Chain A
Amino acid sequence: DAGVIQSPRHEVTEMGQEVTLRCKPISGHNSLFWYRQTMMRGLELLIYFNNNVPIDDSGMPEDRFSAKMPNASFSTLKIQPSEPRDSAVYFCASTMGLANTGELFFGEGSRLTVL
């Protein structure tokens, strides 16, 4: 079975440009999560969806970040405009049901570098 698929794996862009990261969760999973990983702050939960509905976006840094899940098999995380401090590895994860008793399945991540 295919795991969580993220694209692009690597993105280098210049400050001010729009960045869109994409995620395809595992088929049948109804919860999807976006995490950001940096050396300084570790792994941070940005937002999560349940049945395509955003449940908690309190971790989204600021209005420059937005996330959508138009259907059960696709989600995007957009940064507009991007800044150098957004450089990080962004992970998408999915699970069936509740993550607190189940298992999160992570993608391989999208490494973003903003110059």
Chain B
Amino acid sequence: AQSVTQLGSHVSVSEGALVLLRCNYSSSVPPYLFWYVQYPNQGLQLLLKYTSAATLVKGINGFEAEFKKSETSFHLTKPSAHMSDAAEYFCAVSHYSSASKIIFGSGTRLSIRP
């Protein structure tokens, strides 16, 4: 079975500071990994995805994530936080044979302090 664990349900950083949202996965087969963002009262939208190509993945809005097999991690980072980054972030996992079954983590709410 596959799963993802997001460490920290709420993260608060100052504007301009580094953003680090943690995600660890569990999978018995090579995983596909995703980060989605949800702004208030909206659906989720894809930030970035890893599907067995480059381990450092760049996404929209300046976010990136690195796949580390040895650590079973796929943490999301952004060098400098903007107020507009305040949202809920979801890590998700799938794999090549699961077709369309994507398992989402519990989410991390990111707050930005002025």
Interface locus among A14-22, A70-78, A100-108:
A100-108
Name the CB-closest residue of B to A49: B100
B41 within 8 A of A: yes
- A41-71 CB mask vs B (1 if < 8 Å, else 0) is 0110100101000011000000000000000
CB nearest to B45 among chain A residues? A106
Whether A48 contacts B100 by the Cβ 8 Å rule is: yes
Interface size on B, residues (CB 8 A): 24
Q: Are A100 and B94 in contact (CB under 8 A)?
A: yes
Contacting pair B107 A42 (CB below 8 A) = yes
| A25 interface hit (Cβ, 8 Å) | no
Q: Is A4 in contact with B105, judged by CB distance below 8 angstroms?
A: no
Q: Is the interface of B mostly helix, strand, loop or mixed?
A: loop
Given A43-B90, A101-B51, CB of A56 within 8 Å of CB of B43:
no
Which residue of B is nearest A43, CB measured?
B104
A26 at interface by CB-CB < 8 Å: no
Complex interface residues of chain A between 67 and 103 (CB less than 8 A to chain B): 91, 93, 95, 98-101, 103
Using Cβ atoms and an 8 Å threshold, which residues of chain B touch A106? Answer: 42-45
Instruction: Say what secondary structure dominates the interface of chain A.
Output: strand
In this complex, the interface size class of chain A, counting residues with CB under 8 Å from chain B, is 20 to 34
Q: Which residue of A lies closest to B51 (CB)?
A: A101
Q: Using CB atoms and an 8 Å cutoff, list the residues of chain A in contact with chain B.
A: 4, 31, 33, 42-43, 45, 48, 50, 55-56, 91, 93, 95, 98-101, 103-109
Given contacts A50-B100, A100-B96, 20 further A-B contacts (CB under 8 A): A31-B100, A45-B103, A56-B100, A91-B44, A93-B43, A99-B94, A100-B51, A100-B94, A100-B99, A101-B96, A103-B46, A104-B36, A104-B44, A104-B102, A106-B43, A106-B44, A107-B43, A108-B43, A109-B42, A109-B43
> Can you list 26 A-B pairs, Cβ within 8 angstroms, ordered by A?
A33-B100, A42-B104, A42-B105, A42-B107, A43-B44, A43-B90, A43-B107, A48-B100, A48-B101, A55-B99, A55-B100, A91-B43, A99-B100, A100-B32, A100-B51, A100-B94, A100-B100, A101-B32, A101-B49, A104-B102, A106-B43, A106-B44, A106-B45, A108-B41, A108-B42, A109-B41
